[in-house]
Structure 1
């Protein structure tokens, strides 16, 4: 049986590293890309023979094309997980921080997706999962260019899905919520912030990298063969809980024409 390849960007740390490891456990051979050489080395040491690493700048078109050309064939799966956060209030946000978030999170997702999709199209099949964020669904204060970049990823994924469906390529988005991993480590190092955020989630816990990896592998699988163009929010119900977090008197529970 031919090897099934999965390309995972941002695999040197955080969610990307966990997704890469889970893909190997599920029978994929993983091409792990990141700028973090040390992180990639640690990943490879933990995974073993099921992983091949490559230092790759996903914002560099030539570097992306070279990385894809080095693959032995069309990958079955692409997970665009590479991303950066540069928070700050918009009134004071330096232009370079705004542009970096857009370049890595949105343009990088476009470049890798397009280049890999060309190989997938030649094979007549493939599944692409782009990692967005609940910040791309609902704005948060002082999120800098992150919110705009991740909202762009959601819409880009929809456009990719519509344009590439006839080529046999499915494209979906995963929008993680409050995940205790990777770029959020500094946030949850504060015990009080952690307590408040856990309490705001209807399921009363923070998400994990495994929660995201499980969702990614579902979307990559044949079980999701009729799913494309969708954004699956993995947030414990957070983005649907606005009213649940607002107080109201118990007396109004019986308001209505049938109330006694």
Structure 2
């Protein structure tokens, strides 16, 4: 291994990925694990999280479990403090947990707006705050927020989702402003359209898929494993002077009109 490749090595690091039992979160957890990181699997329900921990351990990968809802700040703090005390330091945080609601803006329910903000934005704030307090004491840490192409682009029926992801992009820059001087790098990944079980209806919609493939320079949907390289880069020493940035992984979607 060359010195340059060693910069991407995550052995000896521990990564907490919120919402990591499926979809993009699962892909990122798997990618970081194969780069050497010990993984803390998070979800709201114990059974699927424990099943993933067991799968990782069966492959010889180090994994632990953290059950909390990112929208419950007191529970978040309690669990993260327990991990720090009894499992080990959280060196890498990936704020991945998120939800989607769709409706024309004039018909969008206030309860759905509040739910989106509570998970997509408030949740990242709560978890980052709880983890950063420990990172600040150590003088080092990596935070990766999972944004979206909707951090920069809007589409009909998802304006509140775009608002939450746009705010998360700015929160990333705010983390840099407050925490960079303390040795913390806070950056974001903005995925384009990736085929997951959560958007299966869109994937199976022939008209939408045709539009998307025509709109995206790469000409196709993304595969979730294609996000792992960006995550490893931002989680590793290779990105030691990268801070407050949003890396779009979108097949070129946001680069063209």
TM value normalised by structure 2: 0.90
Worse-superposed segment, 111-120 or 39-48 = 39-48
Map 1:187-226 onto structure 2 (within 5 A): 187-226=202-241
Aligned mates of 1:186, 1:70 — CA distance in 2: 39
2:39 aligned partner: 30
1:132 aligns with 2:132: no
2:127 aligned partner: 112
Worse-superposed segment, 145-154 or 30-39 = 30-39
Is this contact kept in 2: 1:170–1:228, CA < 8 A? yes
- Aligned residue pair count: 242
Map 1:9-158 onto structure 2 (within 5 A): 9-48=18-57, 49-71=61-83, 72-158=87-173
Deviation at 1:75, TM superposition (A): 1.2
Deviation at 1:199, TM superposition (A): 2.1
**What is the Cα-based RMSD across aligned positions, in Å?**
1.6
Aligned mates of 1:124, 1:103 — CA distance in 2: 29
Q: Deviations over 1:65-102 (max 9, x none)?
A: 11211223331100000000011111001100000000
Match of 1:174 among 189, 193, 197: 189
Q: Deviations over 1:162-188 (max 9, x none)?
A: 100111000001110111124322210
Map 1:242-253 onto structure 2 (within 5 A): 242=257
SS of equivalent residue, structure 1 residue 70: helix
SS of equivalent residue, structure 2 residue 106: coil
Q: Deviations over 1:35-78 (max 9, x none)?
A: 14343233223212522122211111111111211223331100
Aligned mates of 2:73, 2:228 — CA distance in 1: 27
Aligned mates of 2:197, 2:141 — CA distance in 1: 27
SS of equivalent residue, structure 1 residue 86: coil
Worse-superposed segment, 186-195 or 16-25 = 186-195
Q: Deviations over 1:198-248 (max 9, x none)?
A: 222101121121111221111111111110000111111111210xxxxxx
Aligned mates of 2:237, 2:206 — CA distance in 1: 41
Aligned mates of 1:195, 1:42 — CA distance in 2: 36
1:160 aligned partner: 175
Aligned mates of 2:76, 2:124 — CA distance in 1: 11
Is this contact kept in 2: 1:15–1:182, CA < 8 A? no
1:255 aligned partner: none
Is this contact kept in 2: 1:179–1:208, CA < 8 A? yes
